[in-house]
Amino acid sequence: MSYLSISFTHKNTDIHTREKLAFSDDNARETFLKTILDNAIIKEAVLLSTCNRVEIITTVNDIEKAKEIILKTLAKYSELDYEDLSLRANIYETSGAIHHLFTVASALDSLVIGETQIVGQLKDAYRLSLAKGYCSQGITRAMTYAFKCAASVRTATSLGTGSVSVASTAVAKAKSLIPNNEGVKALVVGAGEMSELTVKHLLASGFDVVLVSRNLKKAKLLASTFEKPIDVQPYENINQLLNQLPILISATSAPYPIIKQNMVQECDFNRYWFDIAVPRDIDEIKSPHLQIFAVDDLQDIVNENMSLRAQKAKQAYLIVNQQSSEFFDWLKSLEIEPVVKNLYIKANDVIEKRVALAIAKGFVDGSNEENIKKLCQTVLNEFLHQPTIQLKDIAKKSECDVVLGSIQAVFGLQNDSNVLHQCEHAIKFNT
């Protein structure tokens, strides 16, 4: 089994491509996962789709064939050219795939370094696959360690503190465009997680918030979670509001633009609209005194953010490198455990048989059976103690598989190293 990850992000695709690759709902994700798993090549799969990335994380039997299956399925779904996707994709194999997964989980590969949403999004993607049976042992192990790595990065650095999301970046840009923003009204479209973050940062920056959503009940519920008053308006008022207010930030999950040219009137004041949704919420619109910023247009603030966080990111990468190495050491140790266990089981079976035979033939008194067994087990434990330590050391070396195979063959041990071993962290995560 090998790990394989195929990645499309702001680094290798523009927003036009990403919005075609984006999966807007769980049904689309499930259909894609079912399709790529409908063969003997790809064993497990998780699909992560956010405003800045699409990640397909898999375990496979044949890396080259798996790449072709995944990219062809993605090309069909997105109606993009297969060859173009193949050239654009960042493809990570085995140790590279694990390192990339840990980097993503730790928010080091994000548009905004250290943003806090990605680990939650990754957990949601993993939960979906786990619930549907699309992943099991291999990905569970990797995800467990990825979340552990992300926690280590957050603890050891301050990358996860402060305003470090696309929503906060959009608000920071709005504040730079309207410095005297106290009491200025900003329109937020949508009532999901990204809209919640947007409202939070707008209020903290001194803006007044007007909130609209197709789901009025959800919008009112969101507004009720803030101490400061939020003006919740019916979605039907969006045309009027976007032509009255200077700031608009849209973050819905609509699969198509919801704000179009025919909704826009000319105004004699400057308007700044931020589209932080992928696919985009705002169509290609031309109007005097109107500037529209999509996710990729926030790059100037992102670059400043990256320079400020460069030293902390270096420390974080050291943690990722260490945890990636430890992950594969841990995998090897899991292969050692069943071998050692089977050695002891086989030896104990021999003790049981030989002691029973000795009693039956009158070589020893039956009243001493338990004491004789304890003596034999003491000898056994002392005899196997050093080999067990040696095996654990060998687990960290490249010849581990050969040595384990030889031991299993020599002693006639059952190979059950493929049994699902979920560590305590994974069990806690799944409950």
Give the Cα separation of 350 and 173 in Å (integer): 74
Closest of 258, 221, 255, 257 to residue 239, by C-alpha = 258
Active site (catalytic) residues? 51
Structure tokens at 78: 């997105």
Mind spelling out the 3-state secondary structure of 171-238? HHHHHHHCCCCCCCEEEEECCCHHHHHHHHHHHHCCCEEEEEECCHHHHHHHHHCCCCCCEEEEHHHH
Give the Cα separation of 172 and 200 in Å (integer): 12
Structure tokens at 340: 């050692």
Contacts of 222 (CB under 8 A, 6+ apart): 191, 195, 196, 199, 211, 213, 230
Give the Cα separation of 80 and 350 in Å (integer): 63
Give the Cα separation of 193 and 186 in Å (integer): 17
Rg (the chain; Cα; Å): 28
Give the Cα separation of 153 and 155 in Å (integer): 5
Contact 211, 219 (CB under 8 A): yes
Q: What counts of helices (H) and strands (E) characterise the chain?
A: 16, 10
Q: In angstroms, how far is CA 239 from the centroid of its own chain? A: 37
> Helix, strand, or coil here: 293?
strand
Burial of 431 (0-12, 13-18, 19+ CB in 10 A): exposed
> Helix, strand, or coil here: 294?
strand
